[in-house]
Structure formats: structure tokens, C-alpha cells
Amino acid sequence: MIKHLKSAADLDAATATLILDTAGEMAALAGREVKKLPTLRGRTVVNLFYEDSTRTRISFEAAAKRLSADVINFSAKGSSVSKGESLKDTALTLQAMGADAVVIRHPASGAPHRLASWVDGSVINAGDGTHEHPTQALLDAYTMRSRLGKIEGLKVAIVGDVLHSRVARSNVLLLTTLGAHVTVVGPPTLIPLDVAAALAPGIKVTYDLDSVLADSDVVMMLRVQTERMQDSYFPSAREYSRRYGLDAPRMRKLPEHAIVMHPGPMNRGMEIAPEVADSSRSTIVEQVANGVSARMAVLYLLLGGKA
């Protein structure tokens, strides 16, 4: 098993499949009266969050606690970080406390890579800048597999601000590894340069959302920050929504079985219409539940599991 999970590219197909299978077992546990496993008893997991992220932090916290790990939440606000402590000094502190795993969320791309060079424990990337968010990709893949039965061969459209999206990068990498056919969709200003060459040579790029809908098994909508408007990535929220938002008429173009995903938090009425978000195709709430199972699987395999 790998030691760290810094990027979805750290996962080969076999490892990713093992994590998804394990997540399935963890999910079965959630149905039981006692939701706890003793696997990580006596192990310490630190949640090191330099960005506000209630849902990801809670998800990791629940995952670690269900595995009986001791959880320490370390948030940038109200800690020594706000007094100007460097990431390295924080890392050395955590090291001295004997952290077995550090889950890090950080606004700077590559912060988990730096952290991994300073601590002995496992480092799990919970979102770094505009780089990656590998556990989000795992929970998304898990969600697709449970809804559609497989990942290999699925046609997945990832729509929106691919340039700034760590969710998109991790999903492109993981889904391609697992044999899905990925198309990234968005205005040209929000599609990063040489995206196929950089991430996965097999992916397609299109600027036309309508052209891909009829042939998609999965449409994954990305959050678009309205402040991108000020930077001239697109002229207005309205125009963005008209060209790249998933509304009811567009949803009707999807095949019967297709699902709609969103990593949250959503801008209802911007990239996704409320009636789409609340439709039976939407997996948005499931994604949250699956997040705990996927993160349990990651912690279990990286720390305890001898798989």
C-alpha cells in the first residue's frame, strides 16, 4: 500500500479499486447499530486545516472516529499558525506528538508534498490550492460505481472552472486510471493549457456543453466562484449560467440512466439549477455520505490495513 495520498496519480487501478471495495465494506458498517471498528485504536490522526471546510473536515473526523483513531483537529484560525508559525514548524510539532496520519487542507498547491518531507506519518491531501483533492475523486468514483455499477467505459463530463478546480484534476486522473472516458467542458478561459497532455492524454476538451449531454453517463458540475467574473474569465454570472449551467431543459437531454454530480458547496442558479440539484438524478447528498466511507477506506488502508 502507498504511504501517502498526495495526488490521485499516486493510485494505480488496483489500489484505487481496493480502496473503493474497502469503502463498500465501510458503507455496510454504517447500517449497523454500532458504527465503530477498533482498527485504528491508539493511532492518532491530525486534521490540519488551513482553509475553512466544514464538510471535508467533518467527513475526515467522522471517518477517523469510526475507525477508533484519536482525532486532533488543528485549524489555522486560533492556533499558532495565526501567530505566524511556518508549516515546517507545525509539522515538527505534529511529528513530536506522534501523529500517525496528517490530513491537510491548504490554500497552497503542493503543501502536502512539503509536509510529507517533514513528518514520518502518512500525509493525506484533503485539498491543496488549485491542485488536487484525491479523496473527493475517490468518493465520486465510489458514487458512480454504486449508481451505475461500474466505472470502466463510463462517459463522464466534468463541467465548469477546470482551471482552478482541484476536484477536476483529481477526478480526471482517477477516472482515467479506472478506464472512464472523460470530457472536460467549460469556457476556454477556464480550461487549463495543455490539459490533456498534462493530466491524461485520452481526455477530450469541448467548449460546448450541449454537444456532450446526450452521450454522457455522468455530468459533474464544478463550483464556479463569482469572483472569477472580476478577472474577466467570463462576462457575467448570467452568461455563464446560460452557456455552462445545468438547467432542467439541458438535464432532459441526458440519457435516462445518467447522473448529475456536484462536489458542493453549490451555487444554485449559477452552475446548477435548483430543480436539477434536487432531482432524482442528483447524487449530491449521496456524495456526502459516501465521503465518510471513502475516507475510512483510505485511513484504514494507509494506516492499519495490511492489505
Partner 1 sequence: MTSYLLKGVSVLGGSPTDLLIKDGVIASGAGKADETIDATGLVALPGLVDLHTHLREPGREDAETVETGSRAAALGGYTAVFAMANTSPVADTAGVVEQVWRLGREAGLVDVQPIGAVTVGLAGKQMAELGAMATSAANVRIFSDDGHCVADPRLMRRALEYVKAFDGIIAQHAEEPRLTEGAQMHEGEVSTRLGLTGWPAVAEEAIIARDVLLAEHVGSRLHVCHVSTAGSVEVLRQAKARGVRVTAEVTPHHLLLTDELAASYDPVYKVNPPLRTAKDVEALRQALIEGVIDIVATDHAPHAVEDKECEWAYARPGMVGLETALPVVLSVLGEQWELIAERMSRAPARIAGLTGHGTDLSPGSPANLTLVDPAARRVVDPAELASRSRNTPYAGTTLPGRIVATFLRGEPTVLDGKAVK
- In contact, 263 and 236? CB cutoff 8 Å: no
61 binds partner 1 (CB under 8 A): no
| Helix intervals (H) in 166-283 | 166-177, 195-199, 210-213, 237-244, 248-252, 274-277
Cβ neighbours around 294 below 10 Å, total: 30
Minimum Å gap between C-beta 200 and partner 1 is 10
Give, in order, the Cα–Cα distances in Å from 114 to each of 73, 91, 171, 298.
Answer: 20, 10, 22, 20
Q: Which is nearer to partner 1, 128 or 217 (CB)?
A: 128
- Cell (9 digits) for 41: 485504536
The SS3 of residue 21 is: helix
Q: Which is nearer to partner 1, 164 or 181 (CB)?
A: 164
Rounded Cα–Cα distance for residues 287 and 262 (Å): 8
Distance from the Cα of residue 125 to its chain's centroid: 10
Q: Is 55 annotated as a binding residue?
A: yes
Q: Which is nearer to partner 1, 7 or 282 (CB)?
A: 7
Interface with partner 1 by CB under 8 A: which range of 80-88, 151-159, 240-248, 285-293? 80-88
Q: What residues between 4 and 43 interact with partner 1 by CB under 8 A?
A: none
Minimum Å gap between C-beta 287 and partner 1 is 22
Q: Which is nearer to partner 1, 24 or 129 (CB)?
A: 129
Interface with partner 1 by CB under 8 A: which range of 37-45, 75-83, 191-199, 273-281? 191-199
Strands, sheet with 181-185, edge to edge from the N-terminal-most edge strand: 204-206, 181-185, 155-159, 218-221, 259-261
Minimum Å gap between C-beta 125 and partner 1 is 11
Angle at 227 between CA 272 and CA 288, to 5 degrees: 40
Q: Is 136 annotated as a binding residue?
A: yes
Interface with partner 1 by CB under 8 A: which range of 109-117, 211-219, 260-268, 272-280? 109-117
Q: What residues between 129 and 188 interact with partner 1 by CB under 8 A?
A: 129-132, 166, 169
Minimum Å gap between C-beta 101 and partner 1 is 20
Answer for which of 80, 82, 86, 211 binds partner 1 (CB under 8 A) is 86
Minimum Å gap between C-beta 89 and partner 1 is 10
| Helix intervals (H) in 9-105 | 13-30, 54-66, 87-96
- In contact, 99 and 44? CB cutoff 8 Å: yes
- In contact, 174 and 220? CB cutoff 8 Å: no
Residues that bind partner 1 (CB under 8 A): 86-88, 106-111, 113-114, 117, 128-132, 166, 169, 192-195, 197-199
**Residues marked as binding for carbamoyl phosphate?**
55-56, 105, 133, 136, 264-265
**Residues marked as binding for L-aspartate?**
83, 166, 223
